Structure 1
Amino acid sequence: MSSGTERHTSAEGRVRENVFAGVAIDRMAERRDDRLWVEETERADDTRFLVLDSEGQAFVDERGEHPQWMTPVMRAERFGDVVSTLLGIANGTAWFTLVLDEAHAEIFVDLTSARRMSLREAGLILPAFEAGLFAFAKGITHWQRQTRFCSLCGAPTLVVASGHRVQCTNPDGPHMHFPRTDAAIIVIVEDGDRCLLGRQRGWPAGRYSTLAGFIEPGESLEDAVRREVREESGVEVLHATYHSSQPWPLPASLMVGFTATARTREIVLRDDELEDARWFTAEDIVSGMRSGELGVPPPLSVSYRLIEHWLAQRNISLEELIASSPAR
């Protein structure tokens, strides 16, 4: 099942953008504290606002094909009291986001007939730039909601720098807080002609995926790969090589993808996180998917990209394989 191996195994194919990644936008960090510039930009005719609800869902048009952008005119007339966050400038257009409470959300829906869409759904449906912008907006606004009080002294905080810093209001020593991202590794481990995949309880029947876990303090990315694989499967890893990364604001993570080489083969499930883990040959994956007994993660995830790349090195197209597999 060849699909153009050169396209997949070249450097370009190996690092092709994951969902939510590769958003070509100038985040304008140097202008975030310039309130006059920000306010003037908010009023520019071609500026657009990505609208989220209080649960972090985006409002999209009736057909669900694009975000239902708010214009500066609509914002000034109906939502002028809602504070926005600057996302940046792309293709000459300034992009902001704002979060509506339920009362404002109902008004927006009445005006536009918009409907709500989760980030997971958007990652599979919306154009890449729009899905990535949504991920950016959800990540930064989630952090704002989670940082309403200073973690050092407990004082209330204020959002400043057009949404990108939070300042403690303690007059005796105000502290500044910056957005944070929790890094996690995700890895496809190979041993010759086999790769290691596992499944968690509660997943759809037959679905297997690459192994993943959060990085702990004082740990490198490569050390986290070795530890997580050992803890979850009992397999020891020799080498870990960076593959690609993916912002994953569900709610606040960065998935860092690796390929790795196994030192040992024996699988010993050591905790309750995995229900099962197995070594799969490429033919195991092909036959399992063709029969409907095996499923892989959706294209939304970097796990899909890791499996796709591993199969592509063996002249197998995961996209074509899914298309020919029975519906699950």
Structure 2
Amino acid sequence: MTKPLVFTGNRFDRASHLRNDVDWFKQKLEDPSSRFLPMHNLKALIELAGDPCIDWRGASDIKSFLEAGATLVFLGLADFAAHFAIDVSTIENPKKLPNSDWGKFIDVRNISSQLRPGEAGALAQARSLLAWHETHQFCAKCGSKTESAELGYSRKCCNDQCNATHFPRTDPVVIMMVVKGDNCLLGTGHHFPKQQYSALAGFIEPGETIEQGVRREVFEETGVRTGEVTYHSSQPWPYPSSLMIGCFAEALSEEITLEEAELADARWFSKAEVRKMLARSGTSETPRMSPPMAIAHQLAKSWVED
């Protein structure tokens, strides 16, 4: 790959030792060098004049949101400045921004591949954390309200009799190129764009290793048995908060028994076919791979270049 895979270029020092330093936090909220990423319904504020980039704002721009109790999370330190993300979803109409020079709120999936690797990585971190806060307003143990703690890296139950602490979770997902000789097994989902194929994927279950998860998912979806599993690379995937674990798996069988509830189709493709799919040659009717921002694309590219 000529540049880091999308969402893998996060360059922040997360400085976890500062998350309980109240004095440091108060100082950074007033520091003119501190930068804040506003997000509206999980869409990020992007500056579109010139090359797209995050429209980081200063402390004065987000003061009213903090006073209104907006969720704030600490992303980390970079360029001698503290960086934060803040949920400004209280703006009913995101076009009515506090200042006319603000950029535009854009879906992270749509803009991330156009950003520098470090900024795409920041969006993955910010979106995952704010999505977690949005869905964990109540304690899973007693049902009471929770409040943000540790600069956004935990939530504390407000019930003194419970006092449980909850932490953000990342869901591990295996995504695998199943290969046998010069052929690989790819599938397409019911909601995929027409003729777009990808590597098979699925969530790892409790008590399962990566290797076991790969073999189980491939068999469940296609009936194909696999043996040796090797790790390739990983990619944060903030929808809402997964870690894609890219692997290769050696097929022990070839016959496909499709699990129609999971996949619309699964087929074996040759290396020559996959090269054409990666290049997106032909018409929209021609089978093609998922886009370059997806780890499945990079797995396929690595396989055909081997």
Q: CA deviation at 1:205?
A: 2.0
Q: What is the aligned partner in structure 1 of residue 140 from structure 2?
A: 151
Change (3 A) 1:214 1:83: closer
Q: CA deviation at 1:183?
A: 1.1
Scaled by the length of structure 1, the TM-score of the pair is 0.86
In the alignment, the residues of structure 2 paired with residue 309 and residue 286 of structure 1 have an alpha-carbon distance, to the nearest angstrom, of 11
Is residue 245 of structure 2 the alignment partner of residue 256 of structure 1? yes
Alignment deviations for residues 130-181 of structure 1 (CA, whole Å, 9 cap, x no partner): 1110110010111111111100110111111111110001111310001111
Q: What is the aligned partner in structure 1 of residue 178 from structure 2?
A: 189
Give the paired residue count. Answer: 298
| Alignment of structure 1 residues 1-328 onto 2, 5 Å | 17-53=4-40, 55-63=41-49, 65-76=52-63, 78-81=64-67, 82-100=70-88, 101-103=90-92, 105-108=94-97, 110-287=99-276, 289-292=280-283, 293-313=286-306
In the alignment, the residues of structure 2 paired with residue 105 and residue 33 of structure 1 have an alpha-carbon distance, to the nearest angstrom, of 32
In the alignment, the residues of structure 2 paired with residue 20 and residue 127 of structure 1 have an alpha-carbon distance, to the nearest angstrom, of 10
**Unpaired runs of at least 5, structure 2:** none
In the alignment, the residues of structure 1 paired with residue 295 and residue 289 of structure 2 have an alpha-carbon distance, to the nearest angstrom, of 11
Alignment deviations for residues 272-317 of structure 1 (CA, whole Å, 9 cap, x no partner): 211111111111224564333121111121111111111121xxxx
In the alignment, the residues of structure 2 paired with residue 191 and residue 48 of structure 1 have an alpha-carbon distance, to the nearest angstrom, of 50
In the alignment, the residues of structure 1 paired with residue 29 and residue 218 of structure 2 have an alpha-carbon distance, to the nearest angstrom, of 47
Change (3 A) 1:47 1:185: same
Secondary structure of the corresponding residue to residue 196 of structure 2: coil
Change (3 A) 1:214 1:39: same
In the alignment, the residues of structure 1 paired with residue 142 and residue 124 of structure 2 have an alpha-carbon distance, to the nearest angstrom, of 30
Secondary structure of the corresponding residue to residue 69 of structure 1: coil
Q: Is the 8 A contact 1:79 1:104 kept in 2?
A: no
Structure number with the higher helix fraction is 1
In the alignment, the residues of structure 2 paired with residue 80 and residue 177 of structure 1 have an alpha-carbon distance, to the nearest angstrom, of 22
Q: CA deviation at 1:203?
A: 1.9
Q: Relative contact order, CA 8 A, sep 6+: which one is greater? A: 1
Q: Is the 8 A contact 1:47 1:72 kept in 2?
A: yes
In the alignment, the residues of structure 2 paired with residue 141 and residue 221 of structure 1 have an alpha-carbon distance, to the nearest angstrom, of 27
Q: CA deviation at 1:252?
A: 1.7
In the alignment, the residues of structure 1 paired with residue 255 and residue 237 of structure 2 have an alpha-carbon distance, to the nearest angstrom, of 31
In the alignment, the residues of structure 1 paired with residue 48 and residue 301 of structure 2 have an alpha-carbon distance, to the nearest angstrom, of 33
In the alignment, the residues of structure 2 paired with residue 20 and residue 302 of structure 1 have an alpha-carbon distance, to the nearest angstrom, of 10
Q: CA deviation at 1:113?
A: 4.3
In the alignment, the residues of structure 1 paired with residue 93 and residue 261 of structure 2 have an alpha-carbon distance, to the nearest angstrom, of 43
In the alignment, the residues of structure 2 paired with residue 62 and residue 281 of structure 1 have an alpha-carbon distance, to the nearest angstrom, of 41
Q: Is the 8 A contact 1:199 1:209 kept in 2?
A: yes
Q: CA deviation at 1:122?
A: 2.0
- Pairwise CA RMSD: 1.8
In the alignment, the residues of structure 1 paired with residue 276 and residue 237 of structure 2 have an alpha-carbon distance, to the nearest angstrom, of 31
Q: CA deviation at 1:262?
A: 0.7
Secondary structure of the corresponding residue to residue 274 of structure 1: coil
In the alignment, the residues of structure 2 paired with residue 204 and residue 105 of structure 1 have an alpha-carbon distance, to the nearest angstrom, of 29
In the alignment, the residues of structure 2 paired with residue 302 and residue 265 of structure 1 have an alpha-carbon distance, to the nearest angstrom, of 24
* Identical counterparts, % of pairs: 34
Secondary structure of the corresponding residue to residue 230 of structure 1: helix
Q: CA deviation at 1:42?
A: 2.4
Q: What is the aligned partner in structure 2 of residue 319 from structure 1?
A: none
Alignment deviations for residues 221-262 of structure 1 (CA, whole Å, 9 cap, x no partner): 110100000011111010111111111111121111101111
Q: Is the 8 A contact 2:4 2:117 kept in 1?
A: no
In the alignment, the residues of structure 2 paired with residue 21 and residue 211 of structure 1 have an alpha-carbon distance, to the nearest angstrom, of 21
Q: Please tell me the residue identity of whatever aligns with 1:301.
A: A
